[in-house]
Amino acid sequence: MHRTRARLSDGREIVYYDEAPDRVPAADPRGLPPVEPVCEVRRDPLTGDHVTITAHRNARTFLPPADRCPLCPGGPASEVPDASYDVAVFENRFPSFDVRTPPPVPSVIDGVERSRGAGRCEVVCFTDEHSTSMARLPVSRVRTVIDAWADRTAELSAIPDVEQVFVFENRGVEIGVTLHHPHGQIYAYPFVTPRTGRMLAQAAARPGLFGDVLKAERAGARVVLSGEHWTAYVPAAARWPVEVHLMPHRHVPDLAALGAAERDELAVLYRELLRRCDALDDTPLPYVAGWHQAPAGEGRDLVRLHLELFSVRRAPGKIKYLAGSESGMAAWVNDVPPEDTAARLRAVPAG
């Protein structure tokens, strides 16, 4: 993997991850004005949760025609000036968090704590091909994506204001995707997210929690794929109709801590998992695939890196909408037994 850094016309950074050396980045011809994000974090006094307010994101690109895709290389609206690329990562033009955002004044209004949304948001383009998907990329390209994820995780975790790095892919209109080009995102949060906070509390109360969960799942009926270094399984308490976790056998805090052999196997198993998900209903599965990593500071020894992939599709042509119990109370009801989902995924012929 060969890394090359450059700048877009408005000052945002773009980083190329290539499988061959000697890239000379093209200049961005658009002449964009400098980015001036305003990202404010407010603390809910009832729950303690952080809520980010970012009015500038209302103007972000929404379902453009293919010939105006900002992720295709070298086009008139492209965020990637080069004529081709393997993997490209750039700062989001409409970030939820940005170290350049000014602090709110005053810091407490109406009894609500307010702080600047310092951090960083990046877009990760998996390929320069518009009409493909991660599941259809060659294993070598998936491996390059993994190296890019790991490199970005290490770099973003070192930013002083960042407390957690979340690598994820949203795919499908049903999920809310506004760009169809194969891509994911990275959020570098200035706080520890609520879900990770709950994991930290559980792991602190029960030493060895992640190892115990993995051991139990590997001995049960919900394993989908397994290798020397990784196991993919449908969790016993799955919230979603399709939900799969992919966990390393070794306790590591984040993607940057993975060794070469672990990354090699991950490239094979992750692509196979996505291929099987797409084969469930003979049509591409809408999904969110998110890498849960340990915080950048305290608790790095408690949380084990793992992927959580889930879909809102509960049957062909049917979507699980988050209704009152889930949206209002965070009390989940799943219509599909996890054992059935695991059996369906295992039944897909190996690719």
- Examine the domain organization and report whether 22 and 117 are in the same domain: yes
pLDDT at 243: 98
Domain termination site, one of 166, 193, 220: 193
pLDDT at 1 over 80: yes
- Examine the domain organization and report whether 110 and 184 are in the same domain: yes
Assess whether the previous peptide bond of 34 is cis (omega < 30° from 0).
no
Residue type at 11 in one-letter notation: G
pLDDT at 232 over 90: yes
Assess whether the previous peptide bond of 106 is cis (omega < 30° from 0).
yes
Q: Is the dihedral of CA 154, 159, 163, 165 positive or negative?
A: negative
- Examine the domain organization and report whether 200 and 300 are in the same domain: yes
**Mean predicted lDDT score pLDDT of the chain:** 94
The answer to whether 70 and 94 have CB atoms below 8 angstroms apart is no
Domain termination site, one of 193, 222, 250: 193
The alpha carbon of 132 is separated from its chain's Cα centroid by a whole number of angstroms, namely 18
- Could you report the per-residue pLDDT of 11-61, keeping only the tens digit for each? 999 999 999 999 999 999 999 998 888 899 999 999 999 999 997 776 666
- Could you report the per-residue pLDDT of 138-183, keeping only the tens digit for each? 999 999 999 999 999 999 999 999 999 999 999 998 888 888 999 9
pLDDT at 131: 94
pLDDT at 323: 84
- Examine the domain organization and report whether 204 and 189 are in the same domain: no
Residue matched to tokens 């810091």: 107
Q: In the predicted model, what is the mean pLDDT of residues 314-321?
A: 88
What does the alpha-carbon distance between residue 140 and residue 265 come to, in Å, rounded to a whole number?
Answer: 11
pLDDT at 62: 62
- Examine the domain organization and report whether 226 and 116 are in the same domain: no
pLDDT at 298 over 90: no
Please report, for the domain that includes residue 324, its CATH number.
3.30.428.10
- Examine the domain organization and report whether 68 and 43 are in the same domain: yes
pTM of the model: 0.95
pLDDT at 176: 84
pLDDT at 304: 98
- Examine the domain organization and report whether 67 and 108 are in the same domain: yes
pLDDT at 76: 76
- Examine the domain organization and report whether 340 and 284 are in the same domain: yes
The answer to whether 18 and 1 have CB atoms below 8 angstroms apart is yes
Q: Which residues are annotated as a binding site?
A: 69, 72, 130, 181
Q: In the predicted model, what is the mean pLDDT of residues 233-237?
A: 98
What does the alpha-carbon distance between residue 262 and residue 331 come to, in Å, rounded to a whole number?
Answer: 35
- Could you report the per-residue pLDDT of 247-274, keeping only the tens digit for each? 999 999 999 999 999 999 999 999 999 9
What does the alpha-carbon distance between residue 220 and residue 236 come to, in Å, rounded to a whole number?
Answer: 9
Q: Which residues are annotated as a binding site for Zn(2+)?
A: 69, 72, 130, 181
Instruction: Select the more confidently predicted residue: 116 or 124.
Output: 124
- Examine the domain organization and report whether 210 and 162 are in the same domain: no
- Examine the domain organization and report whether 123 and 207 are in the same domain: no
Q: Which of 50, 183, 245, 292 is an active site residue?
A: 183
> What confidence tier does 350 reach under pLDDT thresholds 50, 70, 90?
confident
Domain termination site, one of 126, 161, 193: 193
- Examine the domain organization and report whether 139 and 263 are in the same domain: no
- Does residue 292 carry a catalytic annotation? no
Domain count, the chain: 2
165: burial class by Cβ within 10 Å (0-12, 13-18, 19+)?
A: buried
- Examine the domain organization and report whether 175 and 200 are in the same domain: no
- The whole domain housing 128 covers 2-193
pLDDT at 317 over 90: no
- Could you report the per-residue pLDDT of 55-109, keeping only the tens digit for each? 777 666 666 776 789 999 987 789 999 999 999 999 999 999 999 888 888 889 8
